[in-house]
Structure 1
């Protein structure tokens, strides 16, 4: 499975990239994945040119293809003016609007103060809901004071586990139904929630 990490950090080193790497590593510990990182800082000029001429450069085209072909996404942005960064939004503006549809996405952000943590619910989650992505229940925000403190590692592990469960597919970890030789039940458990595909629910109602 292919996990693509989109990091909108601008500095080097970047706390945004650090959070992205920790989230990706936590997913890989749960379900081994092929990880590819897209650093938007390196694509800023190509993104701007794409807006003016309508054509992505080679690096941007490769990044857009990677996101489109991914089995799951981790997206991490620094907080600017109480929202996601302009570079982060610009990348998803040039991405084909159907590319994230139905794709599992873990949203995360970094900032200098805990007061910006609601950016996850007020900005990032609505954006990816509009793009028809499947956003995992747990979002991760890391303020400057969170690094090395209690709580952040647990949030990272919980969010990564939710993303890994969605990426692994609905039958991951489920035993086959006894006696019928069928495939494992098409269900998955995400945290405290059991996800059952609509087709199975509809079949059960018809029965």
Structure 2
């Protein structure tokens, strides 16, 4: 079981690294776009048009401004990032939990509640992945594209679906692990980074 857990954890970490890389790229896009938008506003200002109209117009003509389609890129990228981080959070038990009431329950009751939470979350993740797949299919058939960049909307769905399927698999795996823990009474996988409050 430990070998399986190490494999699932490695795949979850790989998804998180990919998600982190995409998130870093999105942050750069946002920063560059904000700087470009600010520079464009400055070039259009009365001061620049009065002090150096030729230079200001030349820079404007070069395309100094916001990145075209920045909102579309961020929207598509963030959807992927959210799903890319879910598998690691699921496998490591990193979801926040409030245990005010359950701290007073016996260990067996807590194990049952942990299993129930994992099972319900696994079902939710499977349904989300299933609906993303159905949505991607509809977008592929419709041929819908984004407004500015004109890339097919289904590409965003496909990227998110990769993370959603990984999250659903991680959720199902953890539900199985918690079910075995409930049946055997022993800890198979400890919560590595649980965020208890």
Q: TM-score, normalised by structure 2?
A: 0.25
| Bigger proportion of residues as strand | 1
Higher relative contact order (CA 8 A, sep 6+): 2
| Bigger proportion of residues as helix | 2
| Rg (Cα) greater in structure | 2
Q: TM-score, normalised by structure 1?
A: 0.24
